[in-house]
């Protein structure tokens, strides 16, 4: 690509600057694991220390910092560890993806404290718009969930909750169902009864309760026994 349209990725390590010029879309795909070859990403096969002055990083500096002066190896480290300057379009797309991840976490774990039932996804999405929730770039979805919940609470009664449930699964479905138990939560206790049925206690996110029982009933044709032991 035209180097004049490339984005910079800068890494400061051991007091030295290392900069590469990249295709912004391919660089983001590389960081997301969608591209493996650094050569596809680079707009120029050069490691700079100052792009404006066209100054290259010296081989000795690269060897001192990266233990190699191979351009591709150094460029890969710079891209993985450095700061990628995103385009406005990329920033918006990344922020939207972050918002979706936060909403998914909330839908999985939260309930309406008035009813004890999960909020449907569209209701959470609508509350995001109504509350004008601010999602912070540069922070992961998990680490800002609590802040988002506080922003949502004025327009949506919501709280995180877990459920401890007991299920009894008929013998002929026990093996198949065990993977479902593990995929939805933490299996705290499981024991086979005299008739071959499986009795298990599982701790699951409250927002997944209906989906959890739905999956088990679908597989067992509605033949499971279940009860909620504790709400936490």
Are the CB atoms for 167 and 200 separated by under 8 Å? Answer: yes
What are the structural domain ranges in the chain?
Answer: 3-84, 88-159, 161-231
Is this model's pTM higher than 0.75 or not?
no
Can you give the pLDDT at residue 170? 94
Are the CB atoms for 202 and 188 separated by under 8 Å? Answer: yes
Can you give the pLDDT at residue 107? 94
Are the CB atoms for 116 and 78 separated by under 8 Å? Answer: no
H or E element, residue 111: strand 110-111
Rounded CA separation 25/6 (Å): 10
CATH superfamily of 88-159: SBDS protein C-terminal domain, subdomain 1 (1.10.10.900)
For every one of its 232 residues, what pLDDT tens digit does the chain have, with 9 covering 90 and above?
Answer: 667 678 999 999 999 999 999 998 899 889 888 999 999 999 999 999 999 999 999 999 999 999 999 999 999 999 999 988 877 888 888 889 899 999 999 999 999 999 989 999 999 999 999 999 999 877 889 999 999 999 999 999 999 999 999 999 999 999 889 899 999 999 999 999 999 999 999 999 999 998 999 999 999 999 999 999 998 8
CATH number assigned to the domain with residue range 3-84, chosen from the 4 options 3.10.50.40, 3.30.1250.10, 3.40.190.10, 3.40.50.2300: 3.30.1250.10
pLDDT digits (tens, 9 = 90+) for 103-162: 999 999 999 999 989 999 999 999 999 999 999 877 889 999 999 999 999 999 999 999
Are the CB atoms for 205 and 185 separated by under 8 Å? Answer: yes
Can you give the pLDDT at residue 1? 61
CATH number assigned to the domain with residue range 161-231, chosen from the 4 options 2.130.10.10, 3.40.47.10, 3.30.70.240, 3.10.310.10: 3.30.70.240
């Amino acid at each position: 690509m035209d180097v004049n349209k490339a984005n910079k990725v800068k890494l400061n390590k051991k007091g030295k600057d290392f900069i590469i010029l990249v295709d912004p879309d391919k660089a983001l795909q590389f960081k997301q694991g969608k591209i493996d070859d650094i050569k596809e990403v680079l707009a120029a096969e050069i490691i700079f220390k100052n792009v404006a002055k066209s100054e290259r990083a010296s081989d000795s500096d690269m060897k001192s910092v990266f233990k190699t002066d191979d351009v591709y190896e150094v460029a890969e480290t710079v891209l993985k560890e450095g700061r990628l300057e995103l385009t406005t379009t990329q920033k918006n797309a990344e922020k939207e993806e972050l918002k979706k991840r936060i909403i998914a976490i909330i839908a999985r774990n939260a309930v309406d404290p008035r009813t004890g039932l999960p909020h449907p996804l569209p209701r959470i999405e609508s509350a995001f718009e109504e509350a004008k929730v601010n999602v912070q770039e540069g922070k992961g979805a998990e680490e800002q969930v609590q802040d988002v919940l506080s922003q949502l609470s004025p327009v949506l009664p919501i709280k995180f909750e877990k459920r401890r449930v007991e299920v009894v699964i008929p013998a002929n479905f026990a093996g198949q169902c065990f993977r479902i138990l593990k995929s939805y939560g933490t299996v705290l206790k499981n024991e086979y009864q005299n008739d071959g049925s499986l009795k298990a206690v599982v701790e699951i996110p409250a927002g997944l309760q209906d989906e959890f029982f739905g999956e088990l009933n679908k597989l067992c044709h509605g033949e499971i026994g279940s009860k909620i032991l504790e709400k936490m």
